[in-house]
Amino acid sequence: MVCGIGELTASADPAVRAFIADKSEAQLAGQAIATTLAGCPHITPELFAIVQTAEATGDFTPVARLAELYEDGFR
């Protein structure tokens, strides 16, 4: 999920994949990530806050780092 929210990998949770798959391309491309993820299963308030902060500041480094950790099984 690092480069594009619509490009979820096979390791993504099925409920998250289904939530995102239900969104149109226009929604995915035309609205804020936080708006897209609002109500998404398994998105904790803490993760949601990180996404909102990244969008507000333009610094997605923390989001990318979390994605890397997730893909590596938090090793």
Which pLDDT score, from 0 to 100, does residue 2 have?
39
Which pLDDT score, from 0 to 100, does residue 43 have?
87
Closest C-alpha among 9, 44, 40 to residue 23: 40
Report whether pLDDT(74) > 80.
no
Report whether pLDDT(4) > 50.
no
Distance between CA atoms of residues 51 and 56, nearest Å? 9
E-only strand ranges, 1-75: none
Domain range list for the chain: 14-71
Closest C-alpha among 29, 34, 36 to residue 60: 34
The predicted-structure confidence for 16-66, as pLDDT tens digits, reads as follows 889 988 999 999 899 999 999 899 998 889 989 999 999 999 999 999 998
Which pLDDT score, from 0 to 100, does residue 26 have?
92
Distance between CA atoms of residues 40 and 62, nearest Å? 19
Q: Is the pTM of this model over 0.85?
A: no
Residue identified by tokens 């997730």 is 70
Contact criterion met (CB below 8 Å) for 17 and 8: yes
